[in-house]
Structure 1
């Protein structure tokens, strides 16, 4: 009886140990999935990031109308979809470059973008040299900034993201504290005065914003496409694609996304377009297909923008010779010169192909194990 009791006690201890181990593993798994999604960009050769929840949209750079007597970091005002948008030079605001002249012209390039941020219910456009990517990083990769990095108590720097064993550093900015309170009051007053001058009601802008869709837009050849931002997990530069034997035709191969091997679809091939050489502009948009992370290779990512739903319409049966209607959900018109084909990612693969993607992912996971 003693042996049986001892055996039972040992069994009970073993079960407890296993349960404890499982609980620890579950806790580790919970910790593992704590991530933050960032929009990263370049300023004077250094990489910075903003939490994606602070970013309303990303626009191509446009000249703003100067406002007499405005601070040196305010480039002017821009009218976007009946909305007055103050434009701020982020380098001047953060005192990253030497300001020897009060109104030195801003150097312009094709890569420059305006990131629209919401700070205390004021939409403000900040000019950056270049958008780098949209990515997810684990909380364990973010360290508090040391005194070396922070200039003063108003500095919006809230963390340092260390990637690739510290070879890649991203200065994480607090979107809510991007502009100090006193400077923000001045910008708010400037916008209010402009609205009065243009006879724009505050409610008009709010109603327009409520009836909008947010898109990530990208190019394939001469055409511009869009994917609802809620369908986009992140946007990365193209890394090494590994070909896999017996992969479905629509899969170029697999890529490593922070330790996860994910299938990659070449949208040019998928849409029946001629394939081209990849270059610095090539991007991989990560989406969720069949509950699996999947990469979509595109020629370049244009911007993140908001489009009024009134500007969106159902596509006709025939659009253009090089645009396949089966993948298109709707068409957005920004003006007479610019049209965006909005994709439904569920239509990118048919039922049979979705099954093939599922089987491919499961087979690849099995091989990895």
Structure 2
């Protein structure tokens, strides 16, 4: 092969670790990154060659390089990496400096196939159930499912699994539609499952240097157990503008904004067979249910406490608080909220959706002492959702007692 032209924008360096040593492979371009399906991989007998096997894709066969053989062939003494203490100390200094001024951004995490993805929450107007029917569109791309009507607004619906090359069916109960918006225009994106809402330090995002999935991925968020692909916000905005349906009359959402009509945004969750809600500004994160450490002499509805990234927070069982029986399932979630300047986790059976509700569908309680602040009357009275008053979920005296018990345990 000819020497690689490093002046070209497509050239990339792939870094890897073999036997505890770091190596870098210079390639002409990086095309894709993903998991190998075992049934499409065929290994070859070990010899002096540097090919470990072949991977069959739809239209081609890829040679799989034996990275161990390649790296051992160049592992000369002169290539052994050395530690540069001054550079390391400078890097650590920069990290310490940046950590004190870390910028946080809230992301919505969801699943496509078996992979984890995220996008900035500010792009998401609401999350809704998948309707039974879509209005089909003729002569459209494969990823276009059809049109839905949401409060008299016509919205194009795309299958995000198909956009990213995954298979898709419309039969899974955990599937949701993300209503994303930009410049008053909306688009519905089908995802396989909504997982979490998290505040992420932007310094923890690793820039995606490769042209992954056709410039759809902006960054990677890595933890010990998973890697999440962060979708480029500009790519989402471009899709919204591309697929927005230009209606002859302005839709209700845009009209309400122009006329100053306030919309209340809420997180809707289920307990037993009932639906409840919290203002979205009262929900910092949505995390999966995890093991809880009991707190001695706590009220029945205070389940215990968990360690969330170094912070100990109490967990309140909303089913017990509201008089239901707690039932832990795979759909169970913890809503991380702020009550009296204290982080508190609220256990719920499941998180259903994020809704924007017009004021005309809201009845407000006159009592400030009530646990429920508002009633959301939707779908012509067929759907009634009680919205909790965050400050009345637990009283200050009980919260002080929990703090004391936590300090004793920690």
Residue of structure 2 equivalent to 1:89 = 159
CA distance, structure 2, for counterparts of residue 28 and residue 151 of structure 1: 30
CA gap 1:140/1:24 in 2 versus in 1, 3 angstroms: closer
Correspondence 1:206 to 2:254? yes
How high is the TM-score relative to the length of structure 2?
A: 0.70
* Deviation, structure 1 residue 358: 2.7
Counterpart of 1:255 (choices 306, 310, 315) is 306
Q: Report how far residue 79 of structure 1 moved.
A: 0.9
Q: Against the structure 1 CA distance between its residues 24 and 169, is the aligned structure 2 distance closer, same or farther, given a 3 Å change threshold?
A: closer
Secondary structure of the equivalent of 1:276? coil
Q: Is the 8 A contact 1:285 1:297 kept in 2?
A: yes
What is the SS of the residue equivalent to 2:208? coil
**TM-score (ref. length: structure 1):** 0.77
Q: Which SS does the other structure have where 2:122 is aligned?
A: helix
Aligned partners of 1:214, 1:159: CA distance in 2, in Å? 28
CA shift in 2, pair 1:186/1:230, >3 Å: closer
Is the CA contact 1:117–1:175 (under 8 Å) kept in the aligned structure 2? no
| Correspondence for 2:176 | 113
Q: Distance in 1 between matches of 2:327 and 2:213?
A: 44
The reply to whether residue 364 of structure 1 matches residue 406 of structure 2 is yes
Question: Residue 242 and residue 184 in structure 1: after superposition, are their counterparts in 2 closer, same or farther (change >3 A)?
Answer: closer
Match of 1:238 in 2: 289
In the other structure, the counterpart of 2:212 is 150
Mean Cα deviation higher: 308-317 or 256-265: 308-317
Q: Is the 8 A contact 2:159 2:189 kept in 1?
A: yes
Alignment of 1:126-141 (within 5 A): 126-141=189-204
Which of 357, 364, 368 does residue 307 from structure 1 map onto? Answer: 357
Counterpart secondary structure, 2:326: coil
8 Å CA contact 1:120–1:176 kept in 2: the answer is: no
C-alpha displacement at 1:239, in angstroms? 0.5
Match of 2:235 in 1: 177
1:334 aligns with 2:378: yes
Against the structure 1 CA distance between its residues 255 and 185, is the aligned structure 2 distance closer, same or farther, given a 3 Å change threshold? closer
CA drift of 1:84 comes to: 1.4
Q: Provide the residue aligned with 1:271 in structure 2.
A: 322
Whole-Å Cα distance in 1 between the matches of residues 140 and 115 of structure 2?
27
- Post-superposition offset of 1:127: 0.3
1:263/1:122 Cα in 2 relative to 1: closer, same or farther (>3 Å)?
same
Deviations 1:265-308 (A, max 9, x none): 111111122x2331111111110011011001111111001111
Which of 105, 111, 117 pairs up with 1:36?
105
Partners of 1:213 and 1:228 within 8 A in 2: yes
2:177 and 2:287 map into 1 onto residues whose CA distance is 19
Aligned residue pair count: 312
Is residue 185 of structure 2 the alignment partner of residue 122 of structure 1?
Answer: yes
2:279 counterpart (205, 228, 240) = 228
Aligned counterparts of 1:25 and 1:160: Cα–Cα separation in 2: 18
Which 10-residue stretch deviates more, 123-132 or 247-256? Answer: 247-256
Q: Structure 1, unaligned stretches of length 5 or more? A: 1-22, 98-104, 318-324
Counterpart in 1 of 2:129? 60
Q: Which has the higher contact order (CA 8 A, sep 6+)?
A: 1
